[in-house]
């Protein structure tokens, strides 16, 4: 290590979110900060990074706020500041083990571009919000201010959401609350209405493409696919980086490639399930659904005459045109709904193989309603 202190200035890691932080900084300078904020933006758009960068500004002990070097700045970056509380969705196993929870947060602190929270099976339960309320009832430890960041309020249980609402309705003194969620429609309306909303937009495809190439040294063609498949969300793109996305995409496409009016036999569906099921677990299954949806939408777009640059999979333009011509739009729409139902089933922790089986059977034209088939 050199003698230079490591720069832990989170503001320098925003990659395009600076205008949002500037907006909050101005409100603070003008003494008109709200007590509760609701950051809204797609998964992986940087809501947690932004909230922590803002916390660093609030806690920094220097006039050059945030300096990124003083003790409070370092504590915020390492998630060890005694008056900063970060609550993120986690699996039941993580929630029940303090060590695993600490490891989860340490991994996040060590990597500012850590994959986004809120994967399959992750949520925030009532116990964690209760513990937070107890903690918040005490006076701040280090100074006069406390910051609570609750990530994934759209992943809260009903009871936890009610408890969070109480926290927002009767906020502890000197406490700034930052809630973060993908979409306001999945949150208690009363919770939404009591917070000041802040949009955290995805970077967008072109910008993200440049960021992936320049900052993360991802080869151009891969970066293009990642940018397109992630809807311009940096976190989602980085999450895909470690996977063989092209390989997974092509295997999922092959499994779900049925001709119009196909009358696939149960044995054929079973064969396709077996071909895919080993790869069809956890995050890979969820990402597989996204890849499949992106592909089906590309078929619609190609049929409508859009060019390669407008597709999520520009390298597959000819194939997308062929499939787009072969299937009528209502059939592609039906297949999209089947895959969406499978994604929702995975989100509810359904068995991935069963969900895959049901989706393949429905795509192949098997009977059963799209909704009922996935009911656990």
Binding residues for Zn ion (CB under 5 A)? 60, 62, 67, 70, 73
Q: By C-beta, is 73 or 320 nearer to Zn ion?
A: 73
Q: By C-beta, is 76 or 356 nearer to Zn ion?
A: 76
Give least dist CB 66 to Zn ion, A. 5
Q: By C-beta, is 71 or 139 nearer to Zn ion?
A: 71
Terminal Cα distance for the chain, rounded: 53
Half-sphere exposure of 298 (CA within 13 A, CB side): 28
Give least dist CB 8 to Zn ion, A. 9
Q: Is 323 in contact with 336 (CB distance < 8 Å)?
A: no
Q: Which residues contact 228 (CB under 8 A, 6 or more apart)?
A: 205, 294, 311, 312, 313, 314
Q: By C-beta, is 10 or 86 nearer to Zn ion?
A: 10
Question: If we measure between CA atoms, which residue out of 101, 95, 182, 102 comes closest to residue 130?
Answer: 95
Give least dist CB 296 to Zn ion, A. 49
Q: Is 250 in contact with 279 (CB distance < 8 Å)?
A: no
Q: By C-beta, is 51 or 228 nearer to Zn ion?
A: 51
Beta bridge partners of 180: 39, 151
Give least dist CB 144 to Zn ion, A. 16
Give least dist CB 76 to Zn ion, A. 8
Q: By C-beta, is 6 or 318 nearer to Zn ion?
A: 6
The CA distance from 241 to 287, in Å, is: 12
Q: Is 346 in contact with 286 (CB distance < 8 Å)?
A: yes
DSSP 240-300: HHTS-HHHHHHHHHHHT---TT----HHHHHHHHHHHTTT-SHHHHHHHHHHHHHHHHHHH
Give least dist CB 17 to Zn ion, A. 19
Q: Is the CA virtual torsion 99, 131, 187, 371 positive or negative?
A: positive
Q: Which helix (H) or strand (E) holds 179?
A: strand 175-181
Give least dist CB 72 to Zn ion, A. 6
Q: By C-beta, is 71 or 304 nearer to Zn ion?
A: 71
Give least dist CB 74 to Zn ion, A. 8
Q: By C-beta, is 7 or 265 nearer to Zn ion?
A: 7
């Amino acid at each position: 290590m050199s003698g230079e202190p490591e720069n832990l200035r989170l503001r320098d890691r925003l990659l395009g979110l600076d205008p949002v932080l500037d907006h909050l900084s101005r409100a603070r300078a003008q003494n008109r900060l709200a007590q509760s904020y609701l950051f809204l933006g797609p998964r992986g758009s940087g809501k947690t990074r932004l909230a922590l960068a803002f916390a660093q500004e609030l806690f920094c002990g220097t006039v050059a706020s945030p300096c990124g070097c003083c003790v409070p700045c370092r504590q915020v970056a390492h998630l060890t500041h005694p008056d900063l509380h970060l609550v993120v969705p986690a699996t039941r196993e993580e929630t029940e083990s303090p060590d695993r929870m600490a490891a989860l947060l340490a991994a996040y602190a060590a990597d500012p571009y850590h994959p986004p929270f809120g994967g399959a099976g992750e949520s925030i339960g009532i116990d964690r919000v209760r513990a937070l309320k107890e903690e918040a009832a005490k006076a701040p430890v280090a100074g006069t201010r406390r910051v609570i960041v609750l990530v994934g309020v759209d992943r809260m249980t009903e009871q936890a959401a009610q408890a969070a609402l109480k926290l927002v309705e009767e906020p502890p003194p000197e406490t700034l609350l930052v809630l973060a969620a993908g979409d306001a429609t999945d949150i208690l309306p009363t919770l939404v209405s009591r917070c000041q909303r802040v949009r955290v937009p995805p970077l967008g495809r072109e910008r993200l493409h440049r960021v992936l190439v320049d900052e993360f040294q991802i080869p151009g063609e891969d970066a293009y696919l990642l940018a397109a498949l992630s809807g311009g969300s940096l976190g989602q793109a980085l999450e895909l980086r470690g996977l063989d996305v092209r390989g997974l995409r092509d295997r999922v496409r092959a499994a779900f490639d049925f001709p119009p009016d196909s009358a696939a036999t149960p044995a054929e569906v079973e064969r396709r399930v077996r071909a895919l099921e080993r790869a069809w677990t956890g995050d890979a299954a969820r990402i597989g659904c996204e890849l499949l949806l992106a592909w089906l939408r590309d078929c619609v777009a190609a049929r409508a005459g859009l060019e390669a640059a407008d597709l999520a999979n520009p390298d597959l333009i000819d194939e997308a045109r062929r499939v787009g011509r072969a299937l009528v739009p209502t059939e592609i729409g039906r297949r999209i709904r089947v895959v969406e139902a499978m994604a929702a089933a995975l989100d509810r922790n359904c068995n991935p193989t069963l969900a895959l089986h049901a989706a393949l059977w429905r795509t192949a034209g098997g009977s059963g309603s799209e909704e009922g088939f996935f009911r656990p």
